[in-house]
Chain A
Amino acid sequence: MKAVITVLTEQVKYFYLLRRLSWYEVKSKNKMTYLGLGWELINPGIQIAIYWFIFGYGIRKGEGIDGDPFFQWMLAGIIVWFFFNPAIIESSKSIYQRVKMLSKMNFPMSLIPNMVIFSKFYSHIGLLLLVILILNISGYPISIYYLQLPLFIIATYLFIFALSLITSTLNTFIRDLQMLLQAVLRMLLYMTPILWATFSLPEWIQSMMKINPLYYLVEGYRAALLGKGWYFLANPGYSLYFWGVTLFLLIVGSSLHVKFRRRFIDFI
């Protein structure tokens, strides 16, 4: 618990630096392309188009899900994935890629994964605004349920941060984990109700799938954006489970990080 407080206070104390550094992160990534930042939107756009074509038009034959058209239903959920996936992959690599350059700097090491996550957060917000715009045009106006959106954004951010503390630390020792992580993530896209709904499955399989905390986030975003009710209140047990898992990951991640951070450079 002490490690959690250490790590979180560092994030608050160096927030200005975090913001500035993550902006350079965005800049350096998009520097060499003509469309630059535009790719942060074009890339997801292309993926959404192909998923809609395969799953919505091809497999479901344009049929809706639970009364919602497939396109809007997918859009409201996939937005979490477009934040989660790149943020986890990049932040897990962040420490071993940068430790050589950064080890003698006047800020704590725990900023490094967060700096990468924050750089992805910019495009998440941009994408979110775009999705909201599309939903508003296509028959899903802003509703009172939007009020729970900040809660789910914070939940997603914290979950990613907690997980990245673990993966970025372990990755400095065992580079294979990055490979494993990418494989797991590829699987996770299909184990979460992003591209297909799980209602038709037996009850117990659905419960099994809910072990995946991403399930909670995707459904939460969806409830907020499509105006489907107060998800976190309607599912109090599941909310408790999600926050329990996130706290657990945060404790494990912070302890690991604080324990090993002085020695990262020795393991590179």
Chain B
Amino acid sequence: METSISVRNVTKRHKLYAGTSEKLKDIFLRKDYGEDFYALKGISFEAKAGEVIGFVGINGAGKSTLSNIIAGILPETSGEVEVNGEVSLIAVSSGLKANLTGRENIELKCLMLGFSKREIEKLEPGIIEFAELDQFIDQPVKSYSSGMKSRLGFAISVTIDPDIIIIDEALSVGDKAFSEKAFHKMMEFKKAGKTIIFVSHSTKQMKKFTDKVLWLEFGRVREFGPTKEILPKYDAFIEEYKAMTKIEKENYRRQGQSLPI
């Protein structure tokens, strides 16, 4: 099978500045200013075409950062990311224009993704149907409920038929019926041989859905392997972590974050 996503030794550095003047100096002068914070400390993994990979880890592990880098939204600080095919990131907040109607948002979003007028006309009915917006489709998005907004965002993202899909906690949108429908859609994608990255805290969905699990901890890969092997270990760890006292948790975090790159 060919490689779909290849991530090699990727790091992501955020700068923590003491003040605005430090930020300015850092941008325009050659010398480095500000304190470095590494959200990712050298991540490597590979995904073959058609694999479904789950990202797990406690808060601050770097799951979202890594998925944003793969999606091309955030630039990596060092390392290499190679992606073969069109990537679509499905996140809860989907960047719709509040003043425009649902229909206009569909057109605008598809336009920005590079579809022609005719292609958009063809895609539109499918998106509207999937989003279950009915008569609201010609109302401005700002009058939508949050569930309606995320349904529309989700419907647009899945209908454009990308090769690689990154789902960041998005399967919990809307009511139960819709999230089931969304889950079915993902299963369809899986069957169609698309590469899927699945970021979620729900180990139940992980178990049902993924082939492999990438366990991140403090910006590092702790384990990577078949779901059957890794997920039970992660589950056990979570139980252990939950049982820690507040101070123990804090120590654990501090220890993990202070590790060098």
A-side residues, CB < 8 A to B, are 17, 20-21, 24, 27-29, 31-32, 100-107, 173-174, 262-263, 265-267
Between A31, A265, A267, the greatest number of chain B beta carbons within 10 A of the residue's beta carbon is seen for A31
Other-chain contact of A106, B24, B100, B112, B140 (Cβ < 8 Å): B112
Task: Tell whether, in the assembled complex, residue A32 and residue B99 are in contact, meaning their CB atoms are under 8 Å apart.
Answer: yes
Q: A20-B111, A24-B104 are in contact. List 11 more A-B contacts (CB 8 A).
A: A21-B112, A24-B107, A24-B108, A24-B111, A28-B100, A104-B89, A106-B113, A173-B24, A173-B27, A262-B75, A266-B14
Q: Is the CB of B100 within 8 A of A100?
A: no
Check: B16 CB closer than 8 A to any chain A CB.
no
Q: Which A residues are CB-close (under 8 A) to B100?
A: 24, 27-28, 31
Chain A residue at minimal CB-CB distance from B142: A32
Q: Which of B14, B23, B72, B108 has the most CB of A within 10 A?
A: B108
Contact (Cβ within 8 A) A106 B104: no
| A105 nearest CB neighbor, chain B only | B112
Q: Tell me if B's interface is mostly helix, strand, loop or mixed.
A: mixed
**Residue among A102, A103, A267 with the highest chain B CB neighbour number at 10 A:** A103
A11 to chain B, nearest CB (A): 16
Q: Name B's A-contacting residues (CB within 8 A).
A: 14, 23-24, 27, 71-75, 87, 89, 95, 97, 99-100, 104, 107-108, 111-114, 140
Q: Smallest Cβ distance from A114 to chain B, in angstroms?
A: 14
User: Do residues A21 and B114 form an inter-chain contact, with CB atoms below 8 A?
Assistant: no
CA of A20 to CA of B114 in the docked complex: distance in angstroms?
12
CB of A180 to closest CB in B, whole Å: 14
Task: Collect the chain B residues with CB atoms within 8 Å of residue A267's CB.
Answer: 23, 27
Name the residue on B nearest A32 (C-beta): B99
User: Given the complex, which residues of B lie within 8 Å of A263, measured CB to CB?
Assistant: 75
Do residues B104 and A17 form an inter-chain contact, with CB atoms below 8 A? Answer: no
Bound Cα distance from A173 to B22, whole angstroms: 12
Alpha-carbon separation in the docked complex, A202 to B74 (Å): 55
- For A174, the chain B residues whose CB sits under 8 A away are 24
Q: Is the CB of A265 within 8 A of B113?
A: no
Asked if A104 and B72 sit within 8 Å, CB to CB, the answer is: yes
Asked if A27 and B24 make an inter-chain contact with CB atoms under 8 angstroms apart, the answer reads no
Our pick among B27, B87, B104 for the contact of A27 (Cβ within 8 Å) is B104
